[in-house]
């Protein structure tokens, strides 16, 4: 009996850990390919990053002014395979910029922006292409 409980507990924990979607199969609820998905939360454990609400970007989305509710709130992101996401630190594609290629960025806090800054909660515009 104890072994069953331990196995079930382990399976539940594995399910809880996998929050960041796979870049190879990033799709929205309707099954459409998503160029990038940006999340409001990150965590020092990779398995617990990509949490909270998210904003989907589709191929050729050109958003120089990110919606107000998302301005400077993105903390982790996933870019689909064969896609890239370019972000800006200020609206209207001003300020610093950075291009993310396919993959998972668990913590934007670890991505340098200049000498002293980082990209955590500092995205104000984006362009995504596949």
Residues 63-107 have pLDDT tens digits of 999 999 999 999 999 999 999 999 999 999 999 999 999 999 999
The pLDDT assigned to 32 comes to 97
| Local confidence band at 57 (pLDDT 50, 70, 90 cut-offs) | very high
Question: Which structure tokens are listed for 1?
Answer: 């009996």
How much is the pTM? 0.83
Question: CA-CA distance, 76 to 130, in Å (whole number)?
Answer: 19
Q: Could you give the 3-state DSSP secondary structure of residue 116? A: coil
pLDDT class of 2 with cuts at 50, 70, 90: very low
Domains and CATH numbers, the chain: 19-129 (2.60.20.10)
57 with 70: CB under 8 angstroms? no
């Amino acid at each position: 009996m104890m072994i069953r409980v331990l196995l079930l507990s382990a399976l539940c924990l594995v399910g809880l850990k996998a929050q960041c979607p796979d870049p190879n199969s990033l799709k929205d609820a309707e099954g459409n390919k998503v160029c990038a998905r940006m999340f409001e939360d990150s965590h020092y454990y990779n398995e617990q990053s990509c949490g909270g609400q998210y904003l989907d970007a589709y191929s050729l989305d050109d958003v120089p002014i990110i919606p107000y509710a998302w301005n400077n709130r993105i903390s982790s992101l996933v870019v689909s395979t064969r896609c890239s996401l370019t972000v800006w630190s200020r609206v209207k594609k001003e300020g610093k910029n950075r291009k993310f290629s396919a993959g998972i960025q668990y913590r934007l806090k670890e991505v340098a922006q200049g000498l002293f800054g980082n990209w955590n909660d500092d995205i104000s515009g984006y362009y995504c292409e596949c």
